[in-house]
Amino acid sequence: MTDGSLTFGRFVSLRRTAMGWTQLRLATELDRSEDWMSQVERGVQQVQDVQLLRRLASTLGVEIEKLMALPQPAAKRPRSPRRRVSSATLATVSGAEEDDVRRRPFLTMAVAALVTPAVGQQAAHAGTATPLSGLEDLLLYGPGRLPAPRHEPTPKSVAASLVSSYQEFRAARYDELATALPARIAAADLVGTSEERARHVAQLYNVATRLTIKIGDNNLVAVTSDRALTAARLGGDPLITAEAQRMVSSSWRRQGSLVRAADIVVVAAEELLADTSVAVPARLATRGNLYATAAYTAAKSGDRSYAHALIKEATDSAAAFGRASGRVDGVQGVALHELSVHYELGDAGRAIELARTIDPSALPTPERQARFFTDVARAFDQWGKHENCYRALLAAEEAAPQEIRRGAVRELAIGLLRHDRRLPGVRDFAARAGVQAI
């Protein structure tokens, strides 16, 4: 029951309070920050993404149509770019803007026509095994439910499984990796000294965490990152431990604890810098990754100055690594994080300008190439350039087809369907990304 004075934010606040939930708990359910949740309830943050509205409605126990009928703050207009992007790949296109009154009924139609599963569709998918079912079973029940190995694990086979796991992740062969990981983790826990076993298991759980982040399972992100850090500390390798701390930071970030998430990796970076047992180039490279992760987290919290300071630290560390090793991949990796930082801070124009300086063909793996194009697509979407967003998504799919099943890509695909269904092939692309339509 609503009246003319009840806004979207006020309604959400009242429902949350009636449930006995804090803003942080509700934000965590939506993979958002507590600050973002506060802005929604205060009526300064608009919520128009269909998938997010569905999750919010489900969490609050109300019909999505009821949420969408409530007035929200006016959408922020995209900033006008200071200069036109002239690259063929990143060319600007003009797009019409809709006001909030016209958009709300269209969103309602989008939910009914594009997102809501057909009758019987949910039942058909119920109980279907996910790519991570084997990993879930290993975490919940131990190795007893895994198929018996064909061969007894050896130090050589475990080492080979580590190499294969990293290769499969970098090649974005996520289904193949998800299938193989449980047996590889179980085997790694059987071979070598206790410290060797712990190091191998930690590395594989680090890979598992990165995989679950790609697939979007927050529960598994939390569990696998905890397993990785526990094993890494037993193994005693500072670099493996630092990477596990980075994965734990990602888990805290996805739960909405942004300050804690940033603090975890900043402290890890400083501890690693002081650890003289690690070669200088390796310390610099890992420190750069840690600071880049912290910068992205700070950007998600809206802390502009801290995010820029952290990304500068990451860039400096990556440049020092390049001078010490003669390699440039560290600088490229930080540039990808900086692209995400600009996007999270709402600086779509700066993100595109930075993207124009990056040669995607020089990025070393399909996973990085696809991540680059996905971030470019997000920046163009933020800027209101739907055609360019779509072209970037197609480039991401060409680089790594399995990458487009990520939640971020699905959200972009839904946005494209909402704004410009006339783009050639956009409906088929949305279907490949996992957007269910009738």
Convert the pLDDT of each residue in 213-239 to its tens digit.
Answer: 998 778 899 999 999 999 999 999 999
142-182 per-position pLDDT tens digit = 988 888 888 899 999 999 999 999 999 999 999 999 999 99
Look at residue 120 and tell me whether its pLDDT is greater than 50.
no
Residue 292, amino acid: A
Strand segments, DSSP code E, in 31-101 are: none
Q: Which of 107-121, 124-138, 406-420 has the highest mean pLDDT?
A: 406-420
Give the residue among 139, 164, 240 at the shortest CA–CA distance from 196.
240
Residue 165, amino acid: S
DSSP code of 151? Answer: S
The CA-based angle 329-330-336, given to 5 degrees, is 90
Give the residue among 343, 403, 394, 342 at the shortest CA–CA distance from 368.
403
The CA-based angle 247-250-251, given to 5 degrees, is 90
* Cα torsion angle, 28, 34, 39, 43, sign: positive
Cα torsion 172, 173, 175, 179 to 10°: value is: -120
The CA distance from 1 to 93, in Å, is 42
* Domains of the chain, start order: 1-73 (1.10.260.40), 130-253 (no CATH)
The CA distance from 17 to 13, in Å, is 6
Whole-number pLDDT of residue 127: 42
The CA distance from 241 to 277, in Å, is 13
Of 28-32, 270-274, 282-286, the range with the lowest mean pLDDT is: 28-32
Both structure tokens of 183: 């047996």
Whole-number pLDDT of residue 232: 97
Q: For residue 189, how many C-alpha atoms fall within 13 Å in the half-sphere facing its CB?
A: 17
Give the residue among 287, 233, 222 at the shortest CA–CA distance from 261.
222
**Residue pair 386/97 in contact by the 8 Å Cβ criterion:** no
Q: How confident is the model at residue 403 (pLDDT cuts 50, 70, 90)?
A: very high
Burial of 370 from C-beta contacts in 10 A (0-12 / 13-18 / 19+): buried
Look at residue 126 and tell me whether its pLDDT is greater than 80.
no
Both structure tokens of 155: 């130090």
Q: For residue 229, how many C-alpha atoms fall within 13 Å in the half-sphere facing its CB?
A: 17
The CA distance from 430 to 422, in Å, is 13
Whole-number pLDDT of residue 112: 36
Give the residue among 387, 351, 389 at the shortest CA–CA distance from 81.
351
- pTM recorded for the entire structure: 0.70
